[in-house]
Structure 1
Amino acid sequence: MMASSSSQSVPEKDLNFHLPLYKAAIRGDWEGARKIFDSNPDAVTARISKISETVLHIAVGRSEAIRFVEKLVELMPTEALSLMSKFRETALHYTAKYGNVEAAKLLVARDPELPHIRNDTNFWPLHLAALFGQKEMVVYLLTVTRENVEPNPFVGRPGSLLLCTIVHSGFYDVALDLVRRHPKLATTITPGGNTALSILAGIPSAFPSGGSLSFWQKLIYSWIPLKLAKASHLRHGCDVENLSEQPAKQMSLCWQSLIQNFRRDYSILVWQKVYTELWNIIGRAVPQVKKIHDTKLIHRQAMELVKCLCMEIVQMQSELQWYKEVEKFVTPSYNGKENSDGKMPSMVFTEEHKDLVVAGEKWLKDTAKSCTFAATLIATVVFAAAITVPGGSSTKTGLPIFEKKSPFVVFVISNALSLCSSMVSVSMFLFILNSRCAEGDFLYSLPNKLIIGLVNLFLSLAFMMIAFTSAIYTVFGRGKAWILVSLTVLTCVPMSLFLSMQFPLVKDMIRSTHGPGIFGKNREYKFRKIKN
C-alpha cells in the first residue's frame, strides 16, 4: 500500500491556484473549502504546498477544526488518506506531531494501516508522537499500532528508540508498561548508543532526590496513589480522563505574530511565498537541526537578553518566559542535550543570567525592606488606635462611649482590616527578605509575593486613613457634613500619592505574571507545527 500511495498520481497546479484552499484549511473554513471542491473535485487530493502537502495535511494542524477534518475525510477516497508529503509523511504523521487525537481517530477508522507507514527517517506516527511529547496521542497510537507487521515497531532498535523517546518526554507510566510488554527493550541499544536506563539516569527530575517539590507539595503527593497506564488501556482503549493534558505544541507566539502581520500587510501572492519559505526555513532550523555553530536553539535562547524593561525582576521574569516558551516547542529530547562546551540549556541560561539574578535580588530585597518598614509602622499605629479608642471608655461599664455611633463602627472595622492587611504585607515582604531568590523563583513565586505585599500595603494605608477619618468625625464632627467632606478630601491625598507612585509597579507585575505577557493575547491562530 505504501508504494501505491507514494507513487499515486495527483493533479498538480501552480501553488497560487490552491492558495484559497490552503487558507481555508488553516482557518478551518469548511464552507469555503466545499465551494472549491464543488468547482474543482481534484483539489481534494491536490498538492497545495511546496513540500507536496494535501489539504488534509494542512487541516489536521488545528484541533479546533475537527469538523473540517471530519467532512474532508468523508469526502476523500480511502486510498487518498495515505498520500505523502515530500518527506513521505501522511496526514497521520502530522496529526501525531500536533497531538490531534480526534483527527487521528477519524483517519485510522477509515484506514487502519496508516499507523504502520514510516516517513523518510523511518519514523512511525507513534514515534513522532513520542518525539514531540504528545502523551494522549502516544497512548492512543499504542492501541492501534499492531505488532504483527514487518518491521515490528516494538522490537529491536525501532522499539528501543520508541522507549527512549517516551522516557525523554517524561511519560514514565507509558514507558513502564511498554517494558513490561517487551522486557528486551530495556537493554536494547538505540542507533545513538543509548538505552532507556542511561537516558533516565540523565534526568534528575525523574528521581525524588532531584525533584523541587516544596514541603506541602511532597506531603500532598505522598497521599496520592500513583496511577500507571494499564496494559488493558493501551491495548483496548485510552483512558484519556486520567492523563495529564498535553496540548499540541505550537510555534513561538512571536513568530505567529510576525506571520500574521505578513498576512495582513502584504498581497496574497507575497504572503503565500513568505509563508511557505518561512515555514521551510524555521522548520529545518528549529526542531531538528543538530548544530548551528555547534549551539542548539534552546542554548541560543538561553543566552538572549531582553533589555527593554527597567525593573530587574520583570526583566528576569520575561527572560524565563521566553525560555519556557522556546522549551515548549523544542522536542523534549533536546532539552537535555549538551552543546559544544558540554553545557545543557539550563546551565547556559543560568550562566548568562547570573548578573541579572543578582541585580533582581538586590532590587527586590531593597524594595521589600522599605515596604516592610512602612507596613510595620502602619501595624503599630492601628494597634495602638485599637487600644485607645476615640472618646475613651465609660467608667461604669468600661465600654467605648461612642460604641453605638455609626462612625465608630466604621472606625473599628477599618482599623481591624488595616491591621490584618499590614500583617499580611509584612509576612510577604519578610518571605522575600528571607528567600534565596533562586532563578526559577522569579517566574511566579517572588512576583506573586511582591504583588500580594504591595496590594495589602496599599489596603492597610487606605483602611488606616478611613479609620483616622472615622475617629476624628466621631469625636469632633457632631454631625457636620463639611467636616466629613474636608476629612475625606485630606485622606485621599496620601492615598493618591501612594497609588500614583506604586500603581505602575503593581500593574507591570500583574500584567507580566498573570497577563498575556510578552507573547500577547492573540492565541486564536494555531499554526501548523514545523516539519522535521
Structure 2
Amino acid sequence: MRLGVKMRDWEAVLRTIRGAPSPCAELWLAKMNKWADTVLHAAIIYGASPAIARELLLEMARRKEDVREILSARNQWDNTPLHCAASRGSPSLCLLIPDALATAEQTTRAALARNNEGETPVFLAAVHGHYWAFRLLSELVELEHATSPYVKPNGDSVLHLTIQRKYFELSSIIMHLLPDLVSNINEKGQAPLDILASIPSAFRSATHLSWWEWLCYPFVPIRSQPRRLSRHLLDEDDPGLPDQFPTHEALFGFSFLRSTIEKKRRHVFGSRIMQQLLDNDAFYDSLMERDLLGMDHDHPANLLKLGPSHKASSLLGWTPLLRATKYGAIELVWAILDKKPFAIEDEMMRRRR
C-alpha cells in the first residue's frame, strides 16, 4: 500500500484496503511516509480525486468501531484528516468526515482539534481562502465556543490572516459572521485594522496603475455573488472562492485586463472591509475614553484602564492612521479622521505625528 501511495495509484490503494481482512485498523493507522501521514491523510494531501477520497471514507465507515481512532490520527504536524481536508478546501470531504463520526460530541471534538500550531480545521479553511469549506466547518462549531476556534494561541485570528493574505471578500464575510474578531489583538499588538493599514495595494490611492490600466479601470465591473453549494460543486475542490467569483472579464476578451480586474477587486473589497473595521473597531474608542477622562495615558495605572487595544498600540508605536499615512493610503486616512477626528493626535514613540 505504501508503494501505491508513493506512486499516487489510488485504485491500487483501494484494492489493497478492500482485500484486507476485517477488522484492520492497523492498515488505516499505518504511517505511509516520513511525515507520519496515514493513507487517509495522504489521499487528501496528495490530491486524490473527491471520488477516490469518498470511496476511502466509505470503506473506513465499514469498521464502525475504528472510525473515531482513524479520523483522530495525527501526522507530524498534528494535523488530522479533517485539518487536511480544510487546507485542501474540499467541501465534500468537510461534510463526509464529520458525518462518519457516530455522535455530535465526536464531531464537535474533531472540529475543535488543534494542530501543533494551535490551528483548528475551520481556521485552516479560512486562512487558505476556502470559502465553502470555512462555511461548512463553522456550522460544526457550537455557539458556546464563541471565537476560540478562530484564534491561534498567539492571538492571530482568521480575520488577521485573511486580510494579511488579501482574501478581502472572505474577510468581509468573516466580520459579518464573527463581529467580535474585529477588535481582537494578537501578541504583536496588532488589530485587524493595523494589518489592513499595512497593505498599500488594498487602496487605489496607494497603487500604481500603468496608463492602459488607468484608462480601463473605471469601466471594469466587479460583482460578488457566491454560488449555492450544489451537489455538482461538492464534487469539485475549492469551488467559488470569494476572491475568485466571476468578474465579467470574459466580456472584454483581453487577458491583459486580468491584472486590472484583480487590482480593482482588491480596492473594492479593501474599501469595504476598511469601512466595516472602522464601524466596529474598539481601537479608537479607548483613546476617546482617555481624552474624555483626561487621563495621563503614559501612567501604568491608567494604561490598564484603557483596555488591551490601547496597550497594544502603545507598545507597538504605530497606529492605523500613522501606518496609512506612511503607505499613502489616502482613503483610509480620510476614513479614520472622519470616524475618529482625535486620531490626528496620534504619535509614534519618537513623538512624530
Q: Taking structure 2 as the reference length, what is the TM-score of the superposition?
A: 0.53
Q: Which protein shows a greater Rg?
A: 1
Going from structure 1 to structure 2, the CA distance change for 1:212 and 1:135 (only over 3 Å counts) comes to farther
SS at match of 2:45: coil
Structure 1 residue 202, shift from structure 2 partner = 0.9
Q: 1:38 aligns with which of 19, 22, 28?
A: 19
Larger fraction in helix: 1
Kept in 1, the 8 Å contact 2:120–2:150? The answer is: no
| Percent of pairs with identical residues | 22
1-side partners of 2:153 and 2:77: how far apart? 22
Structure 1 residue 244, shift from structure 2 partner = 4.1
Kept in 1, the 8 Å contact 2:118–2:153? The answer is: no
Going from structure 1 to structure 2, the CA distance change for 1:154 and 1:73 (only over 3 Å counts) comes to same
1-side partners of 2:208 and 2:139: how far apart? 34
Going from structure 1 to structure 2, the CA distance change for 1:50 and 1:63 (only over 3 Å counts) comes to closer
Q: Name 1:120's counterpart in structure 2.
A: 116
Q: Name 1:365's counterpart in structure 2.
A: none
Q: Name 1:444's counterpart in structure 2.
A: none
1-side partners of 2:191 and 2:156: how far apart? 7
2:32 maps to 1:48 = yes
Kept in 1, the 8 Å contact 2:170–2:243? The answer is: no
Q: Which amino acid aligns with 1:188?
A: N
Runs of at least 5 residues in structure 2 that lack an aligned partner in the other structure: 102-106, 246-353
* 1:9-65 Cα distance to aligned partner (Å, 9 max, x none): xxxxxxxxx5224236x33x2244323541363312322223322100000124452
Going from structure 1 to structure 2, the CA distance change for 1:58 and 1:242 (only over 3 Å counts) comes to closer
Q: 2:85 aligns with which of 95, 105, 116?
A: 95
Q: 1:385-396, aligned counterparts within 5 Å?
A: none
Kept in 2, the 8 Å contact 1:99–1:136? The answer is: yes
Q: Taking structure 1 as the reference length, what is the TM-score of the superposition?
A: 0.36
1-side partners of 2:145 and 2:31: how far apart? 30
1-side partners of 2:193 and 2:52: how far apart? 42
Task: Please provide the CA RMSD for this pair.
Answer: 3.5
Going from structure 1 to structure 2, the CA distance change for 1:158 and 1:179 (only over 3 Å counts) comes to farther
Kept in 1, the 8 Å contact 2:163–2:195? The answer is: yes
Q: 1:152 aligns with which of 129, 148, 151?
A: 148
* 1:169-191 Cα distance to aligned partner (Å, 9 max, x none): 22222222322343332222112
2-side partners of 1:109 and 1:135: how far apart? 20
Kept in 2, the 8 Å contact 1:97–1:128? The answer is: yes
Going from structure 1 to structure 2, the CA distance change for 1:75 and 1:197 (only over 3 Å counts) comes to same
Runs of at least 5 residues in structure 1 that lack an aligned partner in the other structure: 1-17, 247-532
Kept in 1, the 8 Å contact 2:132–2:241? The answer is: no
2:224 maps to 1:227 = yes
Going from structure 1 to structure 2, the CA distance change for 1:100 and 1:155 (only over 3 Å counts) comes to closer
Aligned length in residues:
221
2:10 maps to 1:19 = no
2-side partners of 1:88 and 1:150: how far apart? 23
Going from structure 1 to structure 2, the CA distance change for 1:184 and 1:33 (only over 3 Å counts) comes to closer
Q: Which amino acid aligns with 1:220?
A: F
2:164 maps to 1:168 = yes
Q: 1:313-324, aligned counterparts within 5 Å?
A: none
SS at match of 2:143: coil
2:190 maps to 1:200 = no
* Structure of greater relative contact order (alpha carbons < 8 Å, 6+ residues apart): 2
2:57 maps to 1:61 = no
2-side partners of 1:185 and 1:242: how far apart? 21
Q: Which amino acid aligns with 1:58?
A: A
Kept in 2, the 8 Å contact 1:135–1:171? The answer is: no
Going from structure 1 to structure 2, the CA distance change for 1:118 and 1:160 (only over 3 Å counts) comes to same
Kept in 1, the 8 Å contact 2:32–2:38? The answer is: yes
Going from structure 1 to structure 2, the CA distance change for 1:143 and 1:204 (only over 3 Å counts) comes to farther
Going from structure 1 to structure 2, the CA distance change for 1:188 and 1:241 (only over 3 Å counts) comes to closer
Q: Name 1:435's counterpart in structure 2.
A: none
Going from structure 1 to structure 2, the CA distance change for 1:64 and 1:120 (only over 3 Å counts) comes to closer
Kept in 2, the 8 Å contact 1:136–1:245? The answer is: no
SS at match of 1:53: coil
1-side partners of 2:5 and 2:167: how far apart? 35
* 1:77-108 Cα distance to aligned partner (Å, 9 max, x none): 43122211233210111222223333223213
